[in-house]
Structure 1
């Protein structure tokens, strides 16, 4: 049965609005706004109905919507106050995670961070567990793809002026400096900016042969279309933030879509059993194709659930179990690959292009 978006609340937890989980349940908090709830829906359907310690419930908090700082802080405070909460998955981006992580650290609640990439997340202490490759790893990936793979010599960078965008900018500059190279232009922007004016001015003054685009799908698609219209010979290389809802990306980018090289954490592979099962469940529950962001969020929920099943409803024991993955315990076999929480351990970045709407891995890029 396909569930519509309004029913996600009921599928994840019958008592989300009140933030009151069933009595005696071990709870996993889910710190994403409403449009990020699909992974929680699928994970809830995949969890066993009972375990030796009782039920595990996923409780979301999206009443306020949005990702503004005040909203994220309020969301974190409500989640740490949940009775029985053993861990939280979130938040949506680097900035929102950095500003809310101290709340979880002070409360002694494990925070599994599926998609935020800031290197600073690794400095927040023993209760914070980043999953995604860091800014420095992704910047090196982008640099190698641009310089070694695409043979670019004049690289312009267009980046969203957030912790995510500025982090990649800083690390890409560092990587290029190590190769005695430098950017020919840097263009920061904020959400809602006049991208046409910014991009056109940059192209006129810098004449790049490759543009690195760092931001959300909406802005990256718009910039790609503008650059392609100006000069179709300019190669277009996008960071991971753009790889979301590919049909909408293609529609917005227009003819530029075929020229985009896209960075991603994950490309669906139905020949792998754990991925095939996830993709089937995801399609069944949502009527959509899973994005890499949803796959990472799903893995974050499921690794927390596995920790709770193995060590029981004890936050400290859950923290220690997560910390032991890849050391005293084998990595967790997730949809997106082996999961450990050792800094630098997850390097599964891929470069893809779209061929008739289907993502195809660029062979020479390999898997970092």
Structure 2
């Protein structure tokens, strides 16, 4: 495989070229990896990829061993464990990198004595501990889950990343009932024939518990009958065609399907955009045809579908396009950019409603690039409304944490496919955990049936799984019941549209009739939707101070602003965690309404409260939260999301005071403000609240949170509180050097150390509230009390051994104690460093 003159020849560059060639020229890819390792034998990614490309198990073990020796990655360790017992053999590409055998030693080797035995024992111990750690501490056989998608697409890459990221957490916590979970990735290249081939291969191999995939509707529909015959449960994170799940009791979907998406888009076009006409521009594939059929059926309940225009080689027949009727665009990103460009440059200004495949930042960036090329800002991004299961400005607390971790790990914000794939994986792990599955090969059919039945049991909100994007439960046809978010462009990204629709679960038949009569409830097919007001919310912290950890209260001073369209009930909020239960916003500092859009700015300074967790004391992190929600309107009526002004700022800016840009928000002594996060969440009850006529739907409210995470300034704290303990440790250690016949003094020193430690511990923990659990620092004090008690016992034993004329035994005991004392302390310190470092 020749190089071009400008091609870099670094190990990383050679590995990248090997990855690009691995599908078409595996032998050439192996050669490139061998060259990369010749330049840097310690380049771990090249070893790991070479392990994927070699064909012989012995060669794979050799590469995995080298990769694990460089970086002890748990996934590599588990891969080695699966191939356990195979003698490693170097692949031919790296034979020259293996050290030659050493000559045999001539003559009798010298004895190394007891020290050699000790070193060997320590090495064995470290090896056992390392192997145990590498395997995640799990003893069971792996549970396999398959991911099948066209792996060249960004959405599919995001799926794999989301799954691997979550499996790292799952396996570190013990896997599923002690069994590590392994991901098997199959690339169906989004081709029907390849999808059928891979589905048959999965059935033939008979290893996986369930399948996450396929990525597209065409491939999922092709594979569905194969999984159905084999009774292998499957769940797709992205295939929207209703026919995928309608035709199989064993196929599920972890996001909304095209039928739900079409209902929302039809209601949005009719009720929000106020149009009696609509049209569809679609791809001639399963997904596009499914959207065309389901949208036409949905919209005809409101008006006329005036055109259904297929896309032909990334273009459309403009003669068939109505210039003003909203256009539903059902295609992928590349063709959508070309179609939008053709429509807008031809002067067609109709609003465009995009399907979920377009709800990514990559699509927005492509549109912005095309606008720059045309030198017409806003030409393609205006009047654009795109459906998505994940709106980045409306993430809940756990979802926001996950998105931040994903970006930190992979260097980019997650696509929604990463979230829906994680939900697909997690709901499978959920129904397997603690359900009595045997995980034995001869019981795999029964285990798969339990997985399938577990998913089918998630049939309403009350019996849902708390997934990343909200409660996950399935319709009778296996599709996730979830609302469709609509995002629009703010010029640089997609943000939540000012008006949203959400699924309405009426609390009673009377409430439903009243809503339908008043026009606030939209009936479409067998579902009901309501308008939801979106309030762009911003919090700029000025100061946090006066922390009282005993009662969990603190003072927060901050600016709060609300942006919304519609009536002003959106600004009637309460602070649910304020010490004063009747705390109100008061009069706004600014109040501006233009073209139906309102901006209100307030300043709030008051005490708030949170439940603190002290198990990690003094290494604990505390969260100081300001939590607001509407006084009267539920989550069906109003939702608070993060304003773009907050999204435009780097997270470090949140730590600067809004009242003084040169000041820090933190005014709490002995604590450091570590981070600030803003997110929305939904709270409420899924039970009927005493209403005998209710439907059991419960009441839910949208809340908005500003959360400051603070950590103790641990070093000064430890110096101040542990210095007396360190002195006691030194004194107690000196007791081991007293004469064995003088047993009284060491015993007195040990008892005094125990009593003094108890007093010190009481003084340190007196600053905490009354808690029923043992905090981290207490375990350290208890460890020393045990050590001091052991020293007392050793002093008594030493005196007894001397009195019975067993001097050799006394000397061995003394030596062991003097060596074991610091080793014990070192073990305690290393434990704390490992857990809290």
TM-score by length of 2: 0.39
Q: Which residue of 2 aligns with 1:241?
A: 357
Partner of 2:779: none
In the TM superposition, 1:244-263 aligns within 5 A as: 244=360, 245-251=362-368, 254=371, 255-263=379-387
| CA deviation vs aligned residue, 1:77-115 (integer Å, no higher than 9, x gap) | 223334531001000111211110111111221101222
Confirm or deny: 8 A CA contact 2:254 2:423 kept in the other structure: no
> Structure 1 residues 92-101 or 221-230, which shifts more?
221-230
2:171 matched to 1:54? no
Moved more, 95-104 or 133-142: 133-142
Confirm or deny that 1:200 pairs with 2:318. yes
> How far did 1:215 drift?
0.9
In 2, are the aligned partners of 1:76 and 1:103 still within 8 Å (CA)? yes
Pair member with larger Rg: 2
Is this contact kept in 2: 1:16–1:60, CA < 8 A?
A: no
- TM-fit CA distance, 1:131: 2.5
Deviation at 1:271, TM superposition (A): 5.8
Mind listing any 5+ residue stretches in structure 2 that lack a counterpart? 1-14, 20-43, 58-78, 84-140, 372-378, 440-446, 504-837
Change (3 A) 1:79 1:269: farther
- Cα distance change on mapping 1:185 and 1:342 into 2, 3 Å: closer
2:279 counterpart (131, 149, 156): 156
Partners of 2:53 and 2:399 in 1: CA distance? 28
Per-residue CA deviation, residues 118-148 of structure 1 (Å, 9 max, x unaligned), is: 2223333332112232322211211111121
Structure 1 residue 233, shift from structure 2 partner: 3.1
Superposed, 1:88-99 pairs within 5 Å as 88-99=211-222
Q: Distance in 2 between matches of 1:301 and 1:11?
A: 24
User: Do structure 1's residue 293 and structure 2's residue 417 form an aligned pair?
Assistant: yes
Aligned to 1:145: 268
Counterpart of 2:258 (choices 135, 140, 146) is 135
1:33 to 133, 143, 150: 150
Give, in whole Å, the separation in 1 of the partners of 2:464 and 2:275: 37
SS state at 1:61 partner: strand
- Separation of aligned partners in 1, 2:47 and 2:500: 42
- Aligned partners of 2:47, 2:467: CA distance in 1, in Å? 26
Deviations 1:249-268 (A, max 9, x none): 43355331233111111113
Counterpart Cα distance in 2 of 1:260 and 1:9: 44
Q: Is residue 353 of structure 1 aligned with residue 471 of structure 2? A: no
Mapping of residues 98-109 of structure 1, within 5 Å? 98-109=221-232
Between the aligned partners of 1:271 and 1:219, the Cα distance in structure 2 is 29
Contact conserved, 1:184 with 1:208, CA < 8 A, in 2?
A: no
**Residues 175 and 366 from structure 1, CA distance in 2 versus in 1: closer, same or farther, beyond 3 angstroms?**
closer
Could you tell me whether the CA contact under 8 Å between 2:385 and 2:487 is conserved in 1? yes
Local SS of the residue matching 1:367: strand
CA distance in 1, matches of 2:396, 2:300: 39
Deviation per CA, 1:29-59: give whole Å up to 9, x if none: 0011223133233233332233333211111
TM-score normalised over the length of structure 1: 0.85
TM-aligned CA distance change 1:46 to 1:281, over 3 Å = farther
| Alpha-carbon distance in structure 1 between the residues aligned to 2:288 and 2:460 | 32
* Count of residue pairs brought into register by the alignment: 354
Give the Cα–Cα distance (whole angstroms) in 2 for the partners of residues 257 and 71 of structure 1: 36
State how far apart, in whole Å, the 2-side matches of 1:278 and 1:30 are. Answer: 20
SS at match of 2:456: helix
Pair 319,213 (structure 1): closer, same or farther in 2 beyond 3 Å: same
- Could you say which residue in structure 1 is the equivalent of 2:345? 229
| Separation in 1, partners of 2:47, 2:309 | 43
Of 315, 318, 322, which residue of structure 1 is paired with 2:455?
322
**Distance in structure 1 (CA, Å) of the matches to 2:213 and 2:397:** 26
2:364, 2:493 within 8 Å by CA — same for their partners in 1?
no
Tell me how far 1:246 sits from its aligned partner.
4.0
Q: How far, CA to CA, are the matches of 1:110 and 1:256 in structure 2? A: 41
User: Over residues 172-224 of structure 1, what are the superposed CA-to-partner deviations in whole Å (9 max), with x where a residue is unaligned?
Assistant: 22223223x2222211125xx150xx243334xx4333222111111112212
> Alpha carbons of 1:8 and 1:83: their partners in 2 closer, same or farther (altered >3 Å)?
farther
